[in-house]
Amino acid sequence: MWLADKWKDYEVIDSSNGEKLERWGDYVLVRPDPQVVWDTPKNLKGWKKPNAHYHRSNKGGGDWEFFDLPEQWQISYRELTFNLKPFKFKHTGVFPEQAVNWDWCAEKIKNAGRPIKVLNLFAYTGGATISAAAAGASVTHVDASKGMVTWAKENAASSNLSDAPIRWLVDDCVKFVEREIRRGNTYDAIIMDPPSYGRGPKGEIWKIEEALHPLVKLCTQVLSDNPLFFLISLYTTGFAPGVLSYILGTEMKNRGGKISSDEIGLPVTSNGLYLPCGSTGRWEA
């Protein structure tokens, strides 16, 4: 497992019975997690007195219960600063486990010894974007949600990266890549974190079982002649890390390089165990 274990402003304090107890800076939250199928005693005081608790509904979705939580606050990771706020579907605006991928990408960029152009698809609130930009890359950030792109710009500003070479685009990722192929634009690195299901700005439907491999195949056509890396993250239940190795191995076989895949995860403070948080596949030159 690849662990995001370098956080100072975030930790999974404990986990039990479908929920995790987390510290986000100065605030403690309880949020649901489908991976937490174990039922251990909830003895830590944070379980009883969190700043907020997201309750999952039996009908789908859920609602926040707030006790003492500001509308927005910040946490930092290395030199990056993120603006957090609780919003629907239990999220806060950051997936902390992705820090292990941010670090990997940043190291590749810093050690490349040349200018690197990065394409970040399904880029959400920009964790990978601002990490890559801080490492010296120029980044094209693409997400179908205008609100998420605005949030990502705020994170860039808070991280003193307002003037970094980042292109912010609200667009359907597949259609954007198709246009880039026609334009002849290329990138040295690709990052993607596609959802299980989604809709583009004009109602385009995305189903990962049908769309992932065709998109990876499409993206190989916008890779430069000297690509640095290709990274895919998935949270979809049922997709093992080896699936990503297989797809990358199929589409990048003529490029040489190295392929690896694994779960990403977070350490749990209370017991020293590790919480799995999805799969990642990596191709590197």
- Mean pLDDT of the chain, nearest integer: 96
| pLDDT tens figures, 1-11 | 999 999 999 99
* Cα 15 to Cα 30, 41, 99, distances in angstroms: 9, 9, 20
Report the C-alpha gap between 120 and 173 in whole angstroms: 9
Q: CB of 119 within 8 A of CB of 222? A: yes
Query: Could you tell me the pLDDT band of residue 206, with boundaries at 50, 70 and 90?
Result: confident
HSE (side-chain half, CA atoms, 13 Å) at 97: 23
Percent of the chain having pLDDT more than 70?
99
Report whether CATH 2.60.40.1180 matches the domain 2-71.
yes
Mean pLDDT of 245-266: 97
Which of these ranges, 34-43, 206-215, 220-229, has the smallest mean pLDDT? 206-215
Residue type, 25: G
The per-residue DSSP string of 246-272 comes to: HHHHHHSGGG--EEEEEEEEEEBTTTS
The reply to whether the predicted model has a pTM over 0.85 is yes
Same fold, 2-71 and 96-284: no
**Confidence at residue 24, expressed as pLDDT on a 0 to 100 scale:** 98
CATH of the domain spanning 96-284, picked from 3.90.380.10, 3.40.50.150, 3.40.50.720, 3.40.50.1820: 3.40.50.150
Q: CB of 24 within 8 A of CB of 46? A: no
| pLDDT tens figures, 177-190 | 999 999 999 999 99
**Confidence at residue 199, expressed as pLDDT on a 0 to 100 scale:** 75
Count of Cβ atoms closer than 10 Å to residue 237 Cβ: 9
Query: Could you tell me the pLDDT band of residue 201, with boundaries at 50, 70 and 90?
Result: low
Which tokens in the block code for residue 103?
């670090």
Query: Could you tell me the pLDDT band of residue 237, with boundaries at 50, 70 and 90?
Result: confident
* Cα 273 to Cα 9, 33, 109, 269, 276, distances in angstroms: 19, 16, 31, 8, 10
- What residues does each domain of the chain span? 2-71, 96-284
| pLDDT tens figures, 36-69 | 999 999 999 999 999 999 999 888 789 999 999 9
Q: CB of 248 within 8 A of CB of 260? A: no
| pLDDT tens figures, 86-95 | 988 899 999 9
Report the C-alpha gap between 285 and 282 in whole angstroms: 10
**Confidence at residue 202, expressed as pLDDT on a 0 to 100 scale:** 73
Query: Could you tell me the pLDDT band of residue 203, with boundaries at 50, 70 and 90?
Result: confident
Report the C-alpha gap between 234 and 237 in whole angstroms: 9
Report the C-alpha gap between 189 and 114 in whole angstroms: 12
Beta bridge partners of 231: 191, 282
Q: Which residues contact 156 (CB under 8 A, 6 or more apart)?
A: 126, 129, 130, 133, 162, 164, 166
Residue indicated by tokens 């040349």: 114
72 vs 59, higher pLDDT: 72
Which tokens in the block code for residue 113?
């010894």
